[in-house]
Amino acid sequence: MFVTTEYRVKFYDTDTFGVVHHSNYIRWFETGRVEFLRMLGIDLNEMMSDRILFPIIEVSAKFHAPARFDDELEIVTTAEALTKAKMKFNYVIRKRGEEKILAEGTSTNVFTSGGKICRLPDKYSTKLVKFTS
């Protein structure tokens, strides 16, 4: 299973080299996982209301080719591991309709309650755990 999110590059995403600043791909990864979780029926505002947080503990990215102003990008998000203890996602970013990968990456989030690592309550984990690709 995967979720595709779309994004059109803004001027404020670009830098003096005429290309997207690399830190923005990291931000678009986050958008990908938020939408992946939404598709599983997981509402992060509800999770926050339940005092369950999901800090990111690791991110990595490889940058193969630049995106530029007004490019229409597709961020494809897949789940590598979704458990009661963590969420690990993979991301691939391309221009819409093209094969060439511009950037790809991975991230891991854990779950916390009261500032401490916790296991995700069943209310959420039943939606989450069966969908690792």
Q: Which residues are catalytic, by number?
A: 15
Q: Does 66 bind a copy of itself (CB under 8 A)?
A: yes
Site residues for a copy of itself, 2-21, by CB under 8 A, read 10-12, 14-19, 21
- Do the beta carbons of residue 33 and residue 87 sit within 8 Å? yes
Q: In the bound complex, what is the minimum distance in angstroms from residue 107's beta carbon to a copy of itself?
A: 9
> What are the tokens at 10?
């803004």
Identify any residues that bridge with 109 across adjacent strands, giving them in sequence order: 56, 87
- Number of neighbours of residue 37 by Cβ within 10 angstroms: 25
Q: Does 128 bind a copy of itself (CB under 8 A)?
A: no
Residues contacting 60, CB < 8 A, separation 6+:
105, 106, 107
Phi-psi category of residue 115: left, alpha or beta, with phi > 0 → left and psi -120 to 50 → alpha: left
Q: Which is nearer to a copy of itself, 69 or 129 (CB)?
A: 69
Q: Which is nearer to a copy of itself, 60 or 133 (CB)?
A: 60
Site string for a copy of itself, 74-113 (x = CB under 8 A): ----------------------------------------
- Do the beta carbons of residue 71 and residue 121 sit within 8 Å? no
Name the residues that contact a copy of itself, by CB under 8 A: 10-12, 14-19, 21-24, 26-27, 30-31, 34, 44-45, 48, 53, 55-64, 66, 68-70
